[in-house]
Structure 1
Amino acid sequence: MSFTRSDQIIRLYSVLAPLLMLLSISCATVPEGDDLPDLYIGSDVDIVEPMPLRERRALQAAYDSALRPQPNRSVLGVWRPRLQLYHLTGGEDAEGLRARVQNRFGENPVYFSVEMPDANAQRLLNASYARGYFDAEINYNIVEPRDGHVGLSYEVSPGQRYQLGELRYGAEDIDREDTDAEERPEYLSTIDEAILRQLEISELRKGRAYHLDDLEQEQIRIDAALKNQGFFAFSSGHLVFDGRRDRDQKVVDLRLDVREDMPERAARQYRLRNIFLYLDYSVESEDIPEDLGELEELAEQVYVVESSERYRSSIVLNALVIEPGQLYRRADHLRSLSRLSDLGIFQFSSIRYRETDEPGKLDAYVYLTPAPSRVVQAELQAVSRSDDFAGPAVNLSYRDRNAFGGAEELSLQSNAAFETRLREDAGRVLGSYEYGAELGLNLPRVLAPFAVDRARTGSLPRTRVRGGIQSLTRVDTYRLDSANARFGYSWRSNPRLRHELDPVDITFVRPDEFAPEFEERLDENPILARSFEQQFLVGSRYAFIYSDRGIAEGRASSYLQLGIESSGAVLHALQQLSGTDNSEDNEPAAYFNTPYAQFIRTDADLRQFVPLIGSQRLAMRLLTGIGYPYGNSDTLPRIRRFSVGGTNSMRAFAARSIGPGSIPPESDTFEDRSGAIRLEANLEYRFPLSTYFRGAVFADVGNIWDLPGDGGEDEEGEFGFDSFVDDLAVGSGLGLRFDPGFVVVRLDVAFPVRKPWIDDHDGWLVQDMRPLELGWLRENLVYNLAIGYPF
């Protein structure tokens, strides 16, 4: 990358600008001269009457936001560095490089004008009226703390806040004897009835404090309700409130009506006539032609204008909720768009409506632009640990979102990982390797023995079928093979809530190739031995996922996933009902000579993302989980136990390398650490470094535990409410992320802060840190390279 001389100079100014602002503190804020206008330094608003604290704060905020213009930004109300830089760079006469620096770091002066006091007084009065203070009085004084600087001081006496009185609709007045209103047009009768029904459930109740925002929200609410009753051409702007104030009672009586100039079509209910499908639409196409020519009729009054050979037309018809002959409903329109998007095969989708020559009839035009269906992804992860273990992990995935022409998603995922360490004392390699693959098929419909009303769901429900294999080998220790098959459904109940249900989840686990040393360890620990038994897992799983990320920019967002899994209950019930329970003393029941597991397992993943200044973010995560074996099982199967550590967990520790509890790691084995309970928390401060690079400072804390009584002789690995805090491991570090917008490449450098198995200093390592010494860095830093954010 190269920079021009001009770029280098502007970057130099970027560094020197803050210094120039500091050096200019002794300079005058504005140049001297009698012919210059006074600098406006801001306005103060004082509410001089007592009122509840909550209302005072809300009213004060309304007043502060109403004032115009905003004065130049200052430090402690005295020093205005950006304004000073404006003058240092030449003011309004700045040119070239000075102008560029001024535009980026400076701030134009805000001068006082004679119109400003009365204009702001009127704004404060309007803000008072908007919150129901119709008797408010405004007084102000012009203050000059020093020559050339002018401010405003306002005193507001709001008076008593008005409440809502009677709420009537215009059509009701026609039936009153004391009204001289003209006869109401007949075409308004239908919309009058619809609005009256809405006012029956209105929250604008008598006695409620008056607030202009409440009236505007009521207009929007009624408009949304009428849009779902066929009133296609109606809008909230067609509604108007008329108020009559009673100064003695401090009450505002409201009358709602439609505007006199509202067109007749806005009061009309519309029905859909025809639906026209453009299945291979280009955004560069011309507008809708008047004559569509000969069309393919896909269903009654549903026509295909542009067909596509990429997918079947029927899947679009199945996704649409709108139908010919039905009333126009905005909710159906949005549900149809959501379901079309859920198909995953369209790059662009829209539905437009055109009024026909038949009054009250609409034609709908559905435009669909196909997206590329095949996607290939590769993900590389790598870790380098302070104990000389290192190794890569690769994940490959292929996805065809339209495998058979009906928006069926076919996916193939594979993974491989390798980790090793050359142990000089033993002269041999100690490590592990892992590989696996999964084949999945997602269907855009529900396969079930019962009918499902497709129009009731806001999104398109899917049926998921998956199967896979996985193999993990610990060199000179053991090998663990597993095969899994699942059948289930996924659907959204609203844009923020997703559900996943797998009524059938079958896993077969087969351990093999036990080393003699490991067999001895299993003989010593029956609980550990049970977790390594060959067994069936037959159960179900449900997950609830809430996410409001992307709902609104610039606000805090949350993510919550709750999952529950049950295994073995159905098999046990079938054995009991059929009388084939073959369990014996100290031996579990089995199917096809293979024991089956019985357990309940729950887990939770809570994330919070808080925006700070600019593009800075605070990201937080809490992970919890617990598994409880019962009946046919004394412990959780190995593949259902929890673990911590790794690139997306506690980054100062390798994957599955710590716990349970305060049990110390063993340097002469390569045994995975797992437990029945998990507790982990992560905190990450994310900030921009440049256009494509982001930085992070993070801290991770957590551990895993065995259930009380399941640790055998290792009681320090069991969970206890009075001791779990002492078992928490802590890590921290710095992160660098390259984020061009389509992929995130992440490098996290972490180091342990607390190891709970160390007795000295209660496990804390802060006193031993030597971040400036190469030896300490080499022994303690853990490098994590991965694709994507950790959470």
Structure 2
Amino acid sequence: MYFWINFRDHLRHAFAKIALIIIIGIIYSGCNAVKRVPNRKSLLIDNKITVDGEKDGVLNDLLYQKPNSSILGYRFRLNLYNLAKKNPDSSYKAKFLNNPKKYNRQVKLLSAKQVARKGQSFWYFGVHNFLKKIGEAPVIIDETKVKKSIARVKAYYFNNGYFYAEGTYKIDTLKGKKGKVSYAFTKGNVSRLDSIRTKIYTKALDSLYQSTKQLSNLKKGEVFKTENFDAERNRLNTYFRNNGAFYFQQGNINFNLDTIKSTSRTNVEMVISDQNVRVGDSSYTKPFKLYKISKVNIITDNSNDVDKTKISDSVAYNNFNLYSYKKLKYRPKAITDAVFIAPGTVYSDFRTNLTVRYLGNLKIFNYPLVQYKVDEKDENSLIANIILTPRPKYSFGASLDFTHSNIQDFGIAATTSLTIRNVFNRAETLEIAARGNIGSSKDLANPDNTFFNISEYGLDTKLNFPRVLLPFNTENIIPKKMIPSTTLSFGFAKQRNIGLDKENFTGSMTYNWTPKRNHTARFDLFNIQYVNNLKVDNYFKVYRSSYDALNEYGQQYNVNPANLNEDGDLSIPDGTSGFVGDVLGGQTSLNSNDRDFKSIRSIEERRKRLTENNLILASSYSFSKTTKTSFTDNDFYIFRTKLESAGNVLSLFATATKTIDNQISKKRVFGIEYSQYFKTELEYIRHWDFKREKVLAIRGFFGIAIPYGNSTSVPFSRSYFAGGSNDIRAWQPYSLGPGRSGAINDFNEANLKLTTSAEMRFKIFNSFKGALFVDAGNIWNIYDDGPYEAEGGNFEGIRSLKDIAVGSGFGLRYDLSFFVVRVDMGFKTYNPADTSGKKWFREYNFGNSVLNIGINYPF
């Protein structure tokens, strides 16, 4: 138990010591950065590039040789490499060759075999190979590579219209076996496109081209760029293949260029050849045909356990033919709604790909296969065969995880799930999952001193429909090409993890669709949550800071001895409630204008807020857009927004059913006060790729939730907090804010949040990555009548921005391809709550640092 309770602190100090040792070692070794540079050679420390007499940094990435990588100007990996011995094996042998007596002593103590094996140990041999592997060998100026760099830059300029670009170089040798290379380029005149002619052998393709030639990427008068020729080739290939040219390939498009008559003008002839047909050893050409689809055949059960020589069941539906080797298990409409290849339409790559995506999105088939063949009855038509391999009707899953977090020192979580596919024979998917968790926390109330003082169990169900589930047609609003789906979910969870013990009931109806590529939209028609607190009397046992503050007032103002326990402190819960009742009821010397009276009232209001049962019925709309094209794309942005409104439907229901007590200000439904608020969020993430595995990432977030109507504050579960491994990493979760109030509560939250982060990521060696980061932000209260009497906790306009906290630090990451293990060390750089007058760097030390352990990048 002691180990788990102190795990985080031990790991933080160990991490700090290791980092300090590495830094000291590298600084010590870095006194001689050229120790591995041979005589009469030079370490490349700079490339200077000028183009037509002016400095240019754009061409740097085209050079074959670049200076050793650095972090803020310090050549980290080069100095790691210099730490290693050049030939550790030879050094070990020389150690005994020069001193036979020492070797004999070693043999007597060990043996000749053990002494030889010792030379291959990690300390004598492995550590040096390790340093070489993670380090970076010195970049020594190589004139051959310099000349290759000149050739590459000239090719770059040629591809951008400068056909007669020239380049020269000069190698400057500096003191201390260092040097730099100066490159000088002259671009010459740029060539522009003059006449653009076409020779298209197939008349049908020529007609297609003429109808869209205004969209051409090649325009008269524009600068010659090879990328525009590639773009035009791709455009035409896509356009032709989406309009029936099934056999067309990019290789059928070629360009003839004529630059002889003028060095600044290029005449272009685009040639689109006919189809090349190979028969045996001979071949011939013929015009391309634009094919239509005559039939669409769908095989619904192409699995290994069926007899594929005989079709047992078939049905024709809306001109589609569905076949099954066994009994057909799907309603035809469920399958044909996912197929965009229709009889009578022209062949289209787009429709084919969309069909594959939609069928895959049903989650009841493995990757679908679409095959085409020429119709024997009509040589101008294709038959589309769609072959589907069903996934198992039932599948089971189970997982066991050991967890550690800022609140939970040690936890064991287990999940088991059942997935049932094609539930109602219309491609629906039902998922049922049961989960349980037990854990240990030193920070929570634990009167019995048990190790596992946290527990939670729950049951979740989710039913997915691959369509918009509404009583009216939505095709004109959300067409099926947007791949819409509807999800109904319900859940129940019971937890004992903060001492209050809660029951949580949830339910939602959600619509998802993709308006465009890399765009996603989500609409929650309803999202209902009911939180039932089971042990509200435990409040002051859990929120100890609130109790300590109240107990301090009790020592001064309590007038009823019955409110005190045997130690003279306020008893829980009778003494705390009795003392608060006396204060608010005017039984003490305090009156409503006293500051201490307001503080006690604030503590009581917060207790009520955090222990009251919550009923939330919300609707929300979320939208996201990204320019990320692949998993390896490191130059992109993501934009997300969300609008949420809660309580309006319940307000109408309460009014209609006349369940309102006119003597109270808040409305109730079934005896429960419901929440009413409006919430909006904006998030922007941007990544810049600086090559050589260096990436700069930034994130900005703004969120606000405004209570109105039946609520004077936002529910705890819908409010914001600051701090943690994916937020402002120099503070623990819930330990920052609101504003400059100093995080006086155990769990600090508010209804306005503003944060921004910047992180420079770089490769250290192999799969180990590093990062330097800065996080800034805070939370505040605004338009909220909740218990926030602490000075500086409310948002007061622009002047409150001076209370933005700043944290900075560094991190190590290990990339396992499918996920990243992350360790970040955050330091409080600017603490708005510091009352000493020195807010900057006062706590910038390892003793006040915060260690965060996470999975994947924070943004």
Which residue is equivalent to 1:463? 486
Give deviations 1:275-325, integer Å, cap 9, x for gaps.
45555668999xxx9x97657544345354766999888654432222233
Which residue is equivalent to 2:206? 192
The one-letter code sitting in structure 1 at the alignment partner of 2:835 is: D
Compared CA separation, residues 158 and 530, structure 1 to 2 (3 A): closer
Distance apart, 1:164 and its partner CA? 3.5
Alignment of 1:598-677 (within 5 A): 598-611=676-689, 614=692, 619-651=697-729, 653-665=731-743, 671-677=746-752
Unaligned runs of 5+ in 1: 1-14, 31-39, 90-96, 172-184
The one-letter code sitting in structure 1 at the alignment partner of 2:253 is: L
Give deviations 1:624-674, integer Å, cap 9, x for gaps.
31101122222212322222344544455444344322334458xxx5322
8 Å CA contact retained: 1:279, 1:308: no
Distance 1:25 1:707 in 2: 63
Is 1:227 the counterpart of 2:249? The answer is: no
The one-letter code sitting in structure 2 at the alignment partner of 1:546 is: K
Is 1:721 the counterpart of 2:797? The answer is: yes
Give deviations 1:713-732, integer Å, cap 9, x for gaps.
33421123344444444556
The one-letter code sitting in structure 2 at the alignment partner of 1:760 is: S
Match of 2:835 among 753, 756, 759: 759
Distance 2:624 2:578 in 1: 41
Distance apart, 1:700 and its partner CA? 4.6
Is 1:236 the counterpart of 2:314? The answer is: no
Unaligned runs of 5+ in 2: 1-25, 71-77, 89-119, 175-179, 278-284, 538-572, 585-600
The one-letter code sitting in structure 2 at the alignment partner of 1:493 is: P
SS of match in other structure, 1:200: helix
Alignment of 1:535-614 (within 5 A): 536-549=615-628, 551=630, 553-572=632-651, 582=660, 584=662, 587-611=665-689, 614=692
8 Å CA contact retained: 1:744, 1:787: yes
Compared CA separation, residues 444 and 527, structure 1 to 2 (3 A): same
8 Å CA contact retained: 1:527, 1:634: no
Which residue is equivalent to 1:705? 780
8 Å CA contact retained: 2:750, 2:781: yes
8 Å CA contact retained: 1:530, 1:634: no
Give deviations 1:319-373, integer Å, cap 9, x for gaps.
2222233211111111112112322344534433334544233333445555674
Distance apart, 1:542 and its partner CA? 1.1
Distance apart, 1:193 and its partner CA? 1.0
Distance apart, 1:199 and its partner CA? 0.4
Give deviations 1:81-117, integer Å, cap 9, x for gaps.
99xx9x999xxxxxxx99x99x98889999989xx99
Give deviations 1:41-74, integer Å, cap 9, x for gaps.
9999975599xx9xx887x68xx95x9xx57988
Is 1:327 the counterpart of 2:346? The answer is: yes
Distance 1:559 1:682 in 2: 14
Alignment of 1:94-493 (within 5 A): 130-133=159-162, 136=164, 158-170=187-199, 188-242=202-256, 251-259=265-273, 267-277=288-298, 294=311, 296-299=313-316, 300=319, 302-304=321-323, 315-357=334-376, 358-368=378-388, 373-383=395-405, 390=409, 392=411, 394=413, 396=415, 398=417, 400=419, 402=421, 404=423, 406-412=427-433, 414=435, 416=437, 420-421=441-442, 436-453=458-475, 456-458=479-481, 460-471=483-494, 478=500, 481-493=503-515
The one-letter code sitting in structure 1 at the alignment partner of 2:751 is: A
Which residue is equivalent to 2:39? 27
Distance apart, 1:703 and its partner CA? 3.0
Distance apart, 1:496 and its partner CA? 1.4
8 Å CA contact retained: 2:320, 2:336: no
Q: TM-score, normalized by length of structure 1?
A: 0.71
The one-letter code sitting in structure 1 at the alignment partner of 2:433 is: L
Distance 1:783 1:157 in 2: 53
SS of match in other structure, 2:706: strand
SS of match in other structure, 2:356: helix
8 Å CA contact retained: 1:444, 1:463: yes
Distance 1:742 1:407 in 2: 29
Distance 2:209 2:437 in 1: 63
Distance apart, 1:745 and its partner CA? 5.6
Question: Which moved further from structure 2: 489-498 or 337-346?
Answer: 337-346
Alignment of 1:57-68 (within 5 A): 65=62
Compared CA separation, residues 736 and 412, structure 1 to 2 (3 A): farther
8 Å CA contact retained: 1:342, 1:459: no
8 Å CA contact retained: 2:829, 2:844: no
8 Å CA contact retained: 1:749, 1:782: yes
Please tell me the root mean square deviation across aligned C-alpha atoms, in Å: 5.6
Compared CA separation, residues 581 and 708, structure 1 to 2 (3 A): same
Distance 2:206 2:320 in 1: 32
Distance apart, 1:221 and its partner CA? 0.8
Give deviations 1:99-155, integer Å, cap 9, x for gaps.
x99x98889999989xx99x9999887665543446x47587999999xxxx99998
Distance 1:109 1:728 in 2: 47
Which residue is equivalent to 1:502? 524
Distance apart, 1:249 and its partner CA? 11
Alignment of 1:734-753 (within 5 A): 740-741=816-817
Distance 2:852 2:151 in 1: 60
Distance apart, 1:443 and its partner CA? 2.0
The one-letter code sitting in structure 1 at the alignment partner of 2:797 is: F
SS of match in other structure, 1:233: coil
Compared CA separation, residues 331 and 447, structure 1 to 2 (3 A): same
Distance 2:821 2:51 in 1: 53
Give deviations 1:179-223, integer Å, cap 9, x for gaps.
xxxxxx7xx332211110110333534433332322331121122
8 Å CA contact retained: 2:68, 2:139: no
Question: Which moved further from structure 2: 259-268 or 592-601?
Answer: 259-268
Distance 2:462 2:404 in 1: 27
8 Å CA contact retained: 2:364, 2:422: no
Compared CA separation, residues 123 and 484, structure 1 to 2 (3 A): closer
Give deviations 1:410-459, integer Å, cap 9, x for gaps.
14254646564479999999987665543222222221112244994445
